[in-house]
Amino acid sequence: MALKAVKDVKDNAIIGLGSGSTVSVFVKALAKHVNDNKLDIRVIPTSLQIKLEAETLGFKIADETLIPLTDIVFDGADQIDAKFNMIKGGGGALLREKVLIHASKETVILADESKYVDVLNRAVPIEVLPYARTYVSNRLKKMGAEPNVRSLDKGYPFITENGNLILDTNFGKINDVAKKEVELKSIAGIMEVGLFSKHANRYYKAKKDGTIEVLTP
């Protein structure tokens, strides 16, 4: 899937990179594609994880002032519904990923077939200002949701690279994703929500039989 998707990269492009294991594999494929074709590109990572990998592979790292000039973003997804809405943020980089996706000219999502569902139904990552944790949790509970503070293996709270907490929040089935996204963003103290109603340009779907399907909304 990664080897197929790198063909979308053109010379002199500014590439946005999401986070997580799928993007980690993609970055390695991208490095080979760039070297084989002698391309001159710059990348904007959304997490320290991917930034370190990109640096190790010799990529030129662009700073945030070039975000408005991003040509294409490559990212994974935790869940994708039949209308191409997504839940993202399993790695905790949802705020930066959403900024890049909204700024970029194009977005490409890479995911295996298990991530594709009819209706979104997994817990939604919500990035919250620590100061507002209790208030936001109470508001979410009044909506009938079940928020849980994300923690590390030893019980310490997970802190995003922006210094915020993540509330992994179960809403059950989410039929109107855009409405829910706006509703949550209106709560003071929520910095970003892992519902992505802005569709990508292409979705690469890796199937168990080894084939790759390319979907366009």
Residues annotated catalytic, as ranges: 97
Cα–Cα distance for residue pair 132/164, rounded to 1 Å: 10
Residue 198's φ and ψ, nearest 5 degrees, are -75, 120
Buried b (16+ CB within 10 A) or exposed e, 188-206: ebbbbbbbbeebbebbbbb
- The answer to whether the beta carbons of residues 19 and 98 sit under 8 Å apart is no
Q: Cα–Cα distances in Å, from 85 out to 27, 78, 109? A: 24, 11, 11
Torsional sign, CA 3, 8, 13, 17 = negative
